Amino acid sequence: MPCMMRIALDWTPNGNHVGIFVALAKGWYKGAGLDIELLSPHQDNYSQTPASKVLSGVADVAIGPSETVISHHHACRPAGGEGVDLVSVAALLQQDDSAIVTLKSSGIDSMKKLQNKRYGSYGARYEGRIVKQMIQNDGGTGEYEEVTPEKLGLWNTVVNGTTDATWIFMSWEGEEAKMKGIDLNVFPLKDYGVHYGYPLVMFAKPDKVRSEARENIASFLRETARGYEFAVSNKDEAAALMIAEWQRLFPEFPMDEVLVRRSVAAASSTFLDGQEKWGTMTADRWDSFLVWLSENGFLTNKMQSRNPQKEHETTLDGLRQGDAGAKVDKAAIPLEELFVSDLLQ
């Protein structure tokens, strides 16, 4: 009997996910004894985050930024309580293709000019403080309004002028903007002193990685690596395979085939490391981001909530304005607990 595994995507299907769709289409997962089910956030309108799906047992593996993993090692810990840790098992992207963007027509052509404007936020733990730091690093005070529309509609709020800026992947929303003739101001994090980690990783609960499920996760990653390495060398075929699988798995969700092809082509340069391998992670990359978070005071023990009611909760405004709880020593977050690198060997 094949082993069922549920994989929670970070976003609706896009070029960043092409390797998974390739492995599905080619039957590689089934050949490894796996029955893979993809969970897309459009199915529940993002009522649960990918991390929540893993922690609640809805998903076995999920996709999200590396800060999701770090956050769960120092958040969600009421006084005397246990943590709810996650561990990264592979880097989905090696290069950061994400950026804060504004419309060219807005006149907000620098992060400093985002001051006192409206930023459309995903409500993530470090997000607002990273944006604030970018504004400050560009010479501003860091004040702005952080609003939280429906996550899957964030990009559209910038297009229609409801918000002034948001955080996107250039290989997805950025490609859509090019297709539609929407000119953007693009602010990559690295240009504003952010030592960002891996923009997307795959993660699981540590007990899964240590249990008999470990080999199933390893098999999933090996076949996924085949998918991404195939996609880099065969962009057009990979995009066609993804389109076919998307239509089979999510017939209810509309797809722009031209955008998918453009997205796969744009994202393909971000998948592999210098040795042309997918999924690899280094301690130096994790540590660099962890050091940056620590030096800027982002490692704190309060967690974000849209309706804070408990002592260890605060609002997004609270996080930015200093109501973030006690600082957590970087040494309390061992690198070896953040990621494992042997599952792809």
| Sign of the Cα pseudo-torsion (203, 208, 209, 214, in order) | negative
Rounded-to-5 percentages of helix, strand, coil across the chain? 45, 15, 40
Q: What are phi and psi of 306, to 5 degrees?
A: -75, -15
Whole-angstrom distance, CA of residue 138 vs CA of residue 30: 50
> Is the separation of the CB atoms in 120 and 103 below 8 Å?
no
Successive 10-residue mean pLDDT values, the chain, 345 residues: 94 98 98 98 95 96 97 62 78 98 98 98 94 98 96 97 98 98 98 97 94 92 98 98 97 95 98 97 97 94 67 74 82 92 90
* Entry pTM: 0.95
> Is the separation of the CB atoms in 13 and 252 below 8 Å?
no
> Is the separation of the CB atoms in 10 and 203 below 8 Å?
no
